[in-house]
Amino acid sequence: MKIAVCIKQVVTREWQLRVNEAKTWIRDQDASFELNEPDAYALEEALRLKEKHTGEVVVVSAGPTRVSQVIREALARGADRAIHIESDTLATADAVPVADAIASAIRDETFDLVLTGLQSDDQGFGQVGVILAAKLGMPHATIIMEVQAKDSSLRVKRELEGGWFQWMTLPMPALLTIQSGINQLRYATLKGIMAAKKKEIRKVTPSPSADSTQRILNVHFPQKAKQTQMVSGSPAEASRELVKHLREDARVIS
């Protein structure tokens, strides 16, 4: 089974965010970065499928030179090789150009399965996977909690709303977006770290891709403010006024 895993480098969750001078994104010159958590679960699932069915796991990431950090981490965890779509603009691009660049980079490799994390920890739109599936012409399923591969088909368990789940069957090749918590993550061993240094990282220059469908106009932190409103009148009048404020202003009751 030949599996591609799309991974993304995101700012470390504990890092103190700062907005850049243009106020269009965060200041990342002095930031700390890590592997996007949902993508880590997608990588782990790919490695488990490879161990069970044999094959190859290829990680794919789009972004500037610093993305090699998470690529090396993925190789150290057990991926066989990597494709780095090197581009400064793709680090903050929306889902359409990112999916377009990834599709162009992997289309000729004829993967049996493509895995992505459900969403990224920075923008969190959860769209790259489904757009990528459309561009590759693959059937897809989202929010996957379990994967069973047999012959040329997949049986997968999807997480729905309200604690419900759905089982469905897909033919391969297919694309799945993996939910966090699907498995227990492994850590890179010293042997894996040393082996990663010798594994292939193929660098790809993205061809002119689809235009972005959105543009970030302004990024800012939520303003912290306190406001006190006094309610008066009889107990019955005051209670009605309080309920009105809780429903219409605070929106904590319906």
pLDDT at 211: 66
Q: Where are the beta strands (DSSP E) in the chain?
A: 2-6, 9-11, 33-35, 56-63, 81-86, 113-117, 140-150, 153-159, 165-171, 174-178, 201-204
Predicted confidence (pLDDT) per residue in 136-148, tens digit: 999 999 999 999 9
Q: Can you list the residues of the chain whose pLDDT is less than 70?
A: 208-211
What's the pTM value of the predicted model, to 2 decimals?
A: 0.83
Per-residue model confidence (pLDDT) at position 233: 87
Neighbours of 214 (CB within 10 A): 10
What pLDDT shows up at residue 229?
Answer: 79
Token couple for 61: 């990431």
pLDDT given at position 210: 60
Instruction: Write the pLDDT tens digit of every residue in 31-43.
Output: 889 999 999 999 9
